[in-house]
Amino acid sequence: MKPDQISRVSFMNNQKQQKPTLSGQRFKTRKRDEKERFDPTQFQDCIIQGLTETGTDLEAVAKFLDASGAKLDYRRYAETLFDILVAGGMLAPGGTLADDMMRTDVCVFAAQEDLETMQAFAQVFNKLIRRYKYLEKGFEDEVKKLLLFLKGFSESERNKLAMLTGVLLANGTLNASILNSLYNENLVKEGVSAAFAVKLFKSWINEKDINAVAASLRKVSMDNRLMELFPANKQSVEHFTKYFTEAGLKELSEYVRNQQTIGARKELQKELQEQMSRGDPFKDIILYVKEEMKKNNIPEPVVIGIVWSSVMSTVEWNKKEELVAEQAIKHLKQYSPLLAAFTTQGQSELTLLLKIQEYCYDNIHFMKAFQKIVVLFYKAEVLSEEPILKWYKDAHVAKGKSVFLEQMKKFVEWLKNAEEESESEAEEGD
């Protein structure tokens, strides 16, 4: 062979020996490795047929759903699955059942309207989601959707869904963030949200207590939003309290009232500190505080605690014990007229004394300043004899008790003697 023929043959042999690459290659999947796939209609037909065969025995329903997850694609058709379990068939936008679709009576909406039945259905959902954890998100999305569709359901269907949701919130299957759907403007405007919330909270509190419910709401920052269940012109503590108390939910009414009061107190303290830092005149500050007291029904003993905390937070305190007492007296002398405006009751004075005691104990540099502050307030008519004597006798708290009682001993003796002298002078005058 000629040299050029040899090289051609060699090249062709090399070409034959090259192995094919994997890129672009398609491989047939073995039939047994394929998971059965359905479109939503076929999926629905399978579920409905299975539910119809099990009947109303919810234990059998739970077992059927458990077994079906191995062959049906729950992950893809989670919405269809939950639509069927709640409404009996696939829901069209707005919450209506499509006329041409199969439906089943083995569902929440076709069940009896009582808490015991809804608790049994809650167990079905609970077992299903425990078995197929990936359904958690799909179920949460489903409930959010169902809440937005409330107007499309009958009153009985809404009641059942509310009871079921309350039970599922109580056992932790659902997160309280789903309640965001109830703040939909149209639902709120037509009173659907508030009526639904009554049934929901009743079943939730029946399973747990108000403290557990409050903790769940707080976790998702929903604890201060409950009044949004009503239109803007009805978002008041009075309206909320009246509505839910009449519906048999007094504990929820009291919780919201307390939350509102706490919020108002925090807002008052924040505004007070800003007014003080700006150097607003005391008469303006006093007027503002009294208006807030009236508006939010905040008692004076509570207000004096807020004023004291605000006054003490407006200054950078010296870290040296021997200097801080002098600094405190100078600062508090300036603010005495403000404090005096909110110690018109004996209980307010006693509250202030306890606040001073706790502050001096918690801030160690103030331990020796307690008696000096009390004497200053006595001279400035912020505090009077009777509350001071009562504090000394039995109304003090344990914090720094022995130190502060020792500090006050001579002053208390002086007060008692002064009181006795004034009494004897009064008797001589008679």
pLDDT of residue 420: 65
- What is the C-alpha to C-alpha distance for residues 356 and 373, in angstroms, rounded to an integer? 8
Q: Which domain holds residue 414?
A: 299-422
Residues of the chain above pLDDT 90, percent:
73
Q: What is the pLDDT of residues 357-403, one digit of tens each?
A: 999 999 999 999 999 999 999 999 999 999 999 999 999 999 999 99
Question: What total of structural domains would you count in the chain?
Answer: 2
Is residue 414 included in any domain, yes or no? Answer: yes
Same domain membership, residue 159 and residue 65? yes
pLDDT tens sequence across 112-152: 999 999 999 999 999 999 999 999 999 999 999 999 999 99
pLDDT value of position 295: 85
247 Cβ partners below 8 Å, 6+ apart?
Answer: 198, 202
Do 204 and 312 fall into the same domain? no
319 in the same domain as 188: no
Q: Kindly tell me if the per-residue pLDDT of 222 is higher than 80.
A: yes
pLDDT at 1 over 60: no
Task: Assess contact for 335 and 379: CB atoms under 8 A.
Answer: no
Cβ–Cβ < 8 Å for 217, 177: no
Residue 31 has pLDDT above 80, yes or no: no
Burial class (CB in 10 A: 0-12, 13-18, 19+), 341: buried
Q: Are residues 204 and 56 in the same domain?
A: yes
Q: Which of 220, 249, 268 is the last residue of a domain?
A: 220
What pLDDT digit, counting tens, does each position of 293-311 carry? Answer: 998 888 999 999 999 999 9
pLDDT on residue 25: 47
Q: Report helix, strand or coil for 319.
A: coil
Q: Which of 196, 220, 244 is the last residue of a domain?
A: 220
Task: Assess whether 201 and 309 both reside in one domain.
Answer: no
Write down the pLDDT at residue 336.
96
Same domain, 314 and 174: no
Q: Are residues 192 and 86 in the same domain?
A: yes
- Quick: pLDDT tens for 190-219: 999 999 999 999 999 999 999 999 999 999
